[in-house]
Amino acid sequence: MYLEDFDSVGAQERNGDDVFSKPVRAGKRTYFFDVKATKSNDYYLTITESKRKVEKDGRFSYDKHKIFLYKEDFDKFTESLQEVINFIKEKSPAINNASDYTSDSAEEASEKERSNSFSDVDFDQL
């Protein structure tokens, strides 16, 4: 979404240097790909991972991790990211082919595996 599409109030609430944003929802996480502008109107990319967690008092909070990617690094970053993704798709024992891939996170997959590893127990027989 281009930020010019926001009304003037929505645009004012943002940092002012945002140009374009693309959120990607993935299970418990959301990734934000944000194009920002420097004071000299040069663009760069921030990638933010945001994960919702529950505090001890029951309130929700978010863990956020952010990286900044500058245009002079785009090609190297893109090539390396694609190489790593291809390696995982080809070599990962958990993913034999693309049709086996699911959107479950490693945590969710591990939890499913643990829950499937328990056998049924009839407590009356104990």
Q: Which domains does the chain have, with CATH numbers?
A: 3-113 (3.10.450.700)
pLDDT of residue 95: 60
- Number of other residues whose CB lies within 10 A of the CB of residue 104: 13
How much is the pTM? Answer: 0.59
pLDDT of residue 107: 56
pLDDT tens digits, one per residue of 21-56: 999 999 989 999 999 999 999 999 999 999 998 899
pLDDT tens digits, one per residue of 82-120: 999 999 999 998 765 555 555 555 555 555 554 444 445
